[in-house]
């Protein structure tokens, strides 16, 4: 059923793409944050979806796209894909100062906080 695991990247059905979806999730005002990420979340009816936002302040397009690829991989590896929830992940400047493993652990700790808040 979950084709998500067959490929190494996130399928488009598991991404938040539209601006209105981003705004809807952010306006729910349910979020957790640390110095690397802000993670907005909202329950949905179907399956896990994630949207990633990287500011132009973090670098040129090549750098921003690399960050998005890395964060997508973190979501693919660490998040529970059975959980029906939408996430918007905003990457902060401090992300650039650390390595992949540290950033992944940072995102995972935020994800665990959201699971506790939702009672999962």
The pLDDT of residue 72 is 92
Answer yes or no: is 25 within a domain.
yes
Which CATH number fits the domain that encloses residue 88? 3.30.230.10
Rounded to whole angstroms, how far apart are CA atoms 19 and 109? 26
Helices (H), the chain: 19-27, 61-78, 100-118
Answer yes or no: is 6 within a domain.
no
pLDDT digits (tens, 9 = 90+) for 1-53: 344 443 455 676 777 888 888 889 899 889 999 999 999 999 988 888 899 99
Answer yes or no: is 35 within a domain.
yes
Structure-model confidence comparison of residues 80 and 100, the more confident one: 100
DSSP three-state, residue 2: coil
- Tell me the whole-structure pTM to 2 decimals: 0.85
Tokens 């400047």: give the residue: 93
CB atoms < 10 A from the CB of 106, how many?
19
DSSP three-state, residue 67: helix
Rounded to whole angstroms, how far apart are CA atoms 29 and 41? 8
Residue span of the structural domain in which 73 resides: 13-118
- Taking all residues of the chain, what is their mean pLDDT, rounded to a whole number? 87
Total tally of structural domains belonging to the chain: 1
């Amino acid at each position: 059923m979950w084709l998500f695991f067959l490929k190494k990247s996130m399928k488009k059905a598991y991404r938040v793409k539209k601006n209105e979806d981003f705004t809807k999730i952010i306006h729910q005002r349910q979020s957790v944050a640390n110095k690397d990420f802000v993670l907005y979340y909202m329950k949905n009816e179907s399956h896990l979806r994630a949207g990633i936002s990287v500011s132009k302040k973090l670098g040129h397009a090549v750098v921003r796209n690399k960050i998005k690829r890395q964060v997508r991989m973190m979501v693919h590896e660490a998040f529970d894909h059975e959980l029906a929830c939408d996430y918007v992940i905003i990457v902060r400047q401090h992300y650039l100062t650390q390595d992949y493993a540290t950033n992944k652990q940072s995102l995972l700790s935020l994800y665990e906080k959201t699971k506790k808040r939702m009672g999962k």
